[in-house]
A and B are shown apart, each in its own frame.
Chain A
């Protein structure tokens, strides 16, 4: 009985424990899982994020000239699996948690990005370009040969590879 009175007095002296938000600042730790940002220049179009997304919030659409990425924040659960499986960190969760919006804006709560397709240097077929970020993850440093290979489609790369093997045999 008496012991609790002590706690009451202590809590009274300490003052309110709540943050004065929205009139003042509130606690936002580093690494809070908030609004998702997509960096099209780092995307390699592996679509792993779309595959792991539990809410079905991520969708890719591919046309002849581009690969379009869309993420609906209203379907997103902010679990961060997409970020975890994105090797090139094209998709990241930011600390921005200000996501309240009016009903009429609900379809505008999206994150979009477009990856333009590039022609293969060999056959000219359009393909998703290999992002610089992926090159950094895969090779510590690149040289001219690797740089040429990255601009080829998988088929042309294979052909070039076989030629290389044949040269070695000779």
Chain B
């Protein structure tokens, strides 16, 4: 059989963001892959070094829409680590709530797109409609459907009064029912299983070799979650389990994401009940000394690391972040080879790539 090369992307109907794949194919099979990135580079790292610490909270929130809360909260954590600021306990719980609300919405978005790619558009719409509950929650509690603007240096900018706590609790109860139903659908529905089971398999050895993180790693049986390994905010006081699957295929990654969404709902409810009263933010402007610091968190796509270096002024000397998609997209080479050309979009979507975060 003769082999040929086909381009996939950078603009492709089934890819959510621009990325270019040069695919070597033999008949229907992918035999080789070359990835070219750089289509949505916007120079945000350089921009961050021209703006002060406060302005960068808003800037980092605009790196990406789906994990928009993970960026400013990790950035603020880096600043707080550097200045030895201990944020109020209530703020720690409020940060968890913001992060988990975004996780539910982000994971549901990815699982919905899975439905769209396999041609099951009524499933896509149903999952998106369920996600709409989370969008309304975000809009009601934070005032915006995507960018929560929850963080500030030394705490959070929002608070939950009794009425809002009650509203949040009720909406989470609503989500539970929907999420259980959706999870059962993905596990049992024959259309979903036919297209996703055994597709895009990433073995545990390869997962370790590519150092993948997040649901991609956990879908291949790697028990790694920053929230558990090096807890930040209030995660050390919350009760939850790391969700893993051993199959390493597209379906396993979707199942991990859905179970994490279910668990996020429980985490939010735990926070609402456990949260102590008190201030939500330090009340004096922070003093940031010269030095360097690192902070990491578990974004919906995996481990997110921020590196910050300061020189005593109020503008960072260097701000750099490593996003989960950076490791995950390299593993596509292992996932795609041996699979069909028609599954490329499905497998690419299964790592939930965030190109705009990675290329900034």
Contacts from A to B (Cβ < 8 Å): 1, 3-4, 7-8, 11, 17, 27, 29-33, 51-55, 77-81, 84-85, 93
Contacts and interface: CB of A to CB of B under 8 A. Distances in A.
26 contacts: A4-B122, A11-B129, A17-B132, A27-B139, A30-B140, A31-B143, A32-B139, A33-B142, A33-B144, A51-B52, A52-B55, A53-B55, A54-B56, A55-B58, A77-B58, A78-B149, A79-B57, A79-B58, A79-B61, A79-B147, A79-B149, A81-B57, A81-B149, A81-B152, A81-B157, A85-B54
Contact of B54 (A1, A4, A81): A81
A80 B157 contact: yes
Contacts of A84: 152, 157
B149 A29 contact: no
Given A7-B126, A77-B58, A79-B149, A32 B188 contact: no
Contacts of B61: 79
Interface string B127-145: 0010010001001111110
A1 B58 contact: no
A31 B140 contact: yes
B37 interface: no
B55 A4 contact: no
B123 interface: yes
A17 B129 contact: yes
Nearest to A31: B143
Contacts of B122: 4, 8
B189 interface: yes
Contacts of B62: 77
B189 A81 contact: no
B51 interface: yes
Most interface-central of B142, B143, B181, B189 (chain A CB within 10 A): B143
A3 B152 contact: no
A77 B122 CA distance: 34
Contacts of B282: none
Contacts of B40: none
B51 A54 contact: yes
A32 B54 CA distance: 21
B188 to A, nearest CB: 7
A78 B55 CA distance: 13
B191 interface: yes
B7 to A, nearest CB: 35
Nearest to B60: A54
A54 B189 contact: no
B185 interface: yes
Nearest to B181: A7
Interface in B183-203: 184-185, 188-191
B59 interface: yes
A3 B51 contact: no
Contacts of A27: 136, 139
B144 A3 contact: no
Given A55-B58, A78-B149, A81-B157, 4 more contacts: A7-B126, A79-B57, A81-B149, A85-B54
B126 A54 contact: no
Contact of A51 (B54, B123, B126, B149): B54
Contact of A81 (B58, B141, B184, B190): B58
Interface in B87-146: 122-123, 126, 129, 132, 136, 139-144
A96 to B, nearest CB: 12
A1 B152 contact: no
B123 A52 contact: no
Nearest to B140: A29
Contacts of A80: 143, 149, 157
A29 B145 CA distance: 11
A54 B149 contact: no
Nearest to B123: A4
A67 B125 CA distance: 52
Given A1-B190, A7-B181, A79-B149, A33 B54 contact: no
